[in-house]
A and B are shown apart, each in its own frame.
Chain A
Amino acid sequence: MTAVTIIITVLGITVSLTLYRVIFGPTPWDRLIAVNLISSKVVMIMVAAAVFFERRIYLDVALVYAIIGFVSIIAISKFLEGEDTNRK
């Protein structure tokens, strides 16, 4: 058991626990919160793999993944907000 094995295993276990909220969440916003959290944890897994395996390209992949996750979360939350029917 090296350090990188422990880090990636713990992060993977927490990702699979968060997946419970994606599947059984009562409202769409619960699923959105859980997807946001999974995206952030995948970035952390990629940075840990880049440091311990000495692969420099994984950091660029992690940065692009973070940017795409942020834009998709903003777009989906604006879509769920819908048109304002109460306010004028």
Chain B
Amino acid sequence: MIAYLFIFLGLVFIFFGTLGIIRFPDIYTRLQTSSKCDTAGAIALLVGLMLKEGLDSFSLRISIILVFLLLTNPVATHAIARSAAIRGIKPWRKKKKC
């Protein structure tokens, strides 16, 4: 039962992260919500799947995939943000009224 709770939490995180990807106005804000979707959604979903499977070599492989995702996703996010900043993309600001 608690495994399905974790899986539901991961699906909620992933859905709202995707909503942020569509709605947000700038590269850096989209990077922020994409990073949340990658780390929090992946942690919750894969921990839920490990709890459903039980403790054996199968869940050990899932934990290896989880550690790999946790190591590589922030690196990829930082590489994209650094590349955009070097090319001169300015952060988004709210337009003033007058």
Which B residues from 38 to 83 make CB contacts under 8 A with A? Answer: 38, 41-42, 45-46, 49, 52-53, 58, 61-62, 64-65, 68-69, 72-73, 75-77, 79-80, 82-83
- Contact across chains for B42 and A63 when beta carbons are under 8 A apart: no
Residue of B nearest to A74 (CB): B79
Scan A8-39; emit 1 where CB is below 8 A from any B CB, else 0. 00110010011011000001011011101100
Category for how many chain A residues contact B: 35 or more
Question: Which residues in A have their C-beta under 8 angstroms from that of B7?
Answer: 3, 7
With A7-B11, A29-B89, A81-B82 known to touch, is A47 a contact of B34 (CB < 8 Å)? no
Taking the nearest CB of chain B, how far is it from the CB of A88, in angstroms?
A: 14
- Dominant secondary structure of chain B at its interface with chain A: helix
Interface: B94 (CB within 8 A): no
Question: Which residues in B have their C-beta under 8 angstroms from that of A60?
Answer: 61
Whole-angstrom distance between the alpha carbons of A18 and B22 in the complex?
A: 7
Whole-angstrom distance between the alpha carbons of A10 and B64 in the complex?
A: 24
Residue of A nearest to B27 (CB): A29
Whole-angstrom distance between the alpha carbons of A63 and B66 in the complex?
A: 10
Interface: B9 (CB within 8 A): no
16 contacts between A and B (CB under 8 A): A7-B11, A10-B14, A11-B14, A17-B18, A17-B22, A20-B22, A29-B89, A30-B27, A36-B77, A37-B37, A40-B73, A47-B45, A51-B58, A77-B83, A80-B87, A84-B86
Binding site for B on A (CB under 8 A): 3, 7, 10-11, 14, 17-18, 20-21, 27, 29-30, 32-34, 36-37, 40-41, 43-44, 47-48, 51, 56, 59-60, 62-63, 66-67, 70, 73-74, 77-78, 80-82, 84
Which 7 residue pairs are nearest across A and B when measured between Cβ atoms? A81-B83, A14-B18, A77-B83, A70-B72, A77-B79, A73-B76, A29-B84
